[in-house]
Amino acid sequence: MLNIVLFGPPGSGKGTQASKIIEKYNLIHISTGDLLRSEVEAQTELGIQAQAIMDRGALVSDEIVIGMIRKKLEEHQDGPGFIFDGFPRTVEQARELRKALTDIDERVTVLISLTVPKDELVKRLVKRGAETGRSDDNPETIHKRIDVYNTQTLPVAYYYEKMHKHQPVEGVGSVNDIFKRIVEVIEHFS
């Protein structure tokens, strides 16, 4: 299996590049942001709790997120592999992912980390907020999300670095150019 973690701050292009990677490699897409947003839309108990957390730019609890991931892994054990988009976001989530993959005799192939300067991130997310009305894409929440990324999520990159599986990729430029850089990394690690 090819198991890719797509990593980076909010607005770095994870969701955008994930759809191109899936098209080329036929992987199962696991976006914890999308999974949470569909719970919000369905107004489930989990969704109601998650909405308040997401709207203030904080992270939903590890327990909830890990539960969602394990369910998805079980459903697609026989596929060509997974792309994890926006997960893991804490070192605890990274450890749990390792355990869950080990349970199905699998491991992460590579963590691809999209690097984008903060002013560009803010610009992209403000634009998306104006276009889509996404409730966490407002200036105040965007700054909070970037702070949360720097304090709680960035350590995940070091966790994979220690295993020689962390690969930074410049995330500024055209979507197609960035995708080419990502494909080079995937071909190298697979």
Of 103 and 177, which has the nearer Cβ to ligand B4P? 177
Q: Does 39 bind ligand B4P (CB under 6 A)?
A: no
Q: Which of 35, 89, 42, 20 is nearest to 61 (CA)?
A: 89
Residue in this structure with the two tokens 């560009």, named with its chain if needed? 120
What is the C-alpha separation between 48 and 51, in angstroms, rounded? 5
Catalytic residue list contains 37: no
Q: Does 159 bind ligand B4P (CB under 6 A)?
A: no
Which amino acid, one-letter code, is at 81? Answer: G
Q: Does 14 bind ligand B4P (CB under 6 A)?
A: yes
Enumerate the H helices of the chain as residue ranges: 14-25, 32-41, 45-55, 62-75, 91-103, 118-132, 139-148, 155-161, 175-189
Q: Which of 111, 110, 120, 109 is nearest to 171 (CA)?
A: 120
Least spacing, CB of residue 30 vs ligand B4P, in Å: 10
Which amino acid, one-letter code, is at 72? Answer: K
Q: Are 32 and 89 contacting, i.e. CB atoms less than 8 angstroms apart?
A: yes
Which amino acid, one-letter code, is at 174? Answer: S
Least spacing, CB of residue 114 vs ligand B4P, in Å: 8
Per-residue binding string, ligand B4P, 117-156, x by CB under 6 A, is -------xx--x-------x--------x-----------
Tally Cβ neighbours within 10 Å of residue 145: 23
Closest residue (Cβ) to ligand B4P? 33
User: Which class for 15: exposed (0-12), middle (13-18), buried (19 or more C-beta within 10 A)?
Assistant: middle
Least spacing, CB of residue 91 vs ligand B4P, in Å: 12
Q: Does 60 bind ligand B4P (CB under 6 A)?
A: yes
Q: Does 16 bind ligand B4P (CB under 6 A)?
A: yes
Task: Mark the segment that binds ligand B4P (CB under 6 A) among 20-28, 31-39, 41-49, 159-167.
Answer: 31-39
Q: Does 110 bind ligand B4P (CB under 6 A)?
A: no
Interface pick for ligand B4P out of 5, 27, 40, 89 (rule CB under 6 A)? 89
Q: Does 12 bind ligand B4P (CB under 6 A)?
A: yes
Q: Does 178 bind ligand B4P (CB under 6 A)?
A: yes
Q: Does 13 bind ligand B4P (CB under 6 A)?
A: yes
